[in-house]
Copies of this chain bind each other. A is one copy, B any other.
Amino acid sequence: MRDGAINFEAKLVRFSEHWSPRVIAEMNDYQFKLAKFQGEFVWHSHAETDEVFIVLSGAMALEFRDGTVPLAAGEMYVVPKGVEHRPVAPQECCVLLVEPRGVVNTGDAGGAYTARNDVWV
């Protein structure tokens, strides 16, 4: 029997922690992760990979050293590899992340916001 579709809402209700991505699917060596953002994350970068943010509900911004990109539901952004960024969200924002398997949420920065990797929901 083949698996059914992956429903974002059905997955999102299964966790509440902010800044703690949950894997929902893999495509080749890439992972699709759901995350809930609220507040200000840490400045960080990923030296080896671009990173995709797709906003499913709510609104957020990606702060860069040279400006800020607002993102709302139905919008996406590709953060180029090596570029320092900081996600921020005044209210809770649900996001679909796409990145290679093994990417740590805080990149080069580490610290208290570093989430356990490869946690599925």
Interface size on A, residues (CB 8 A): 39
Known contacts being A30-B30, A52-B32, is A75 close to B25, with CB within 8 Å? no
Interface SS of chain A: helix, strand, loop or mixed? strand
The yes or no answer to A102 lying at the interface (CB within 8 A) is no
The yes or no answer to A69 lying at the interface (CB within 8 A) is yes
Most buried by B among A3, A25, A81, A96: A25
Can you list 15 A-B contacts (CB < 8 A)? A1-B67, A2-B66, A2-B67, A2-B69, A4-B70, A5-B71, A5-B75, A5-B76, A6-B77, A24-B76, A25-B76, A27-B52, A28-B49, A28-B100, A32-B52
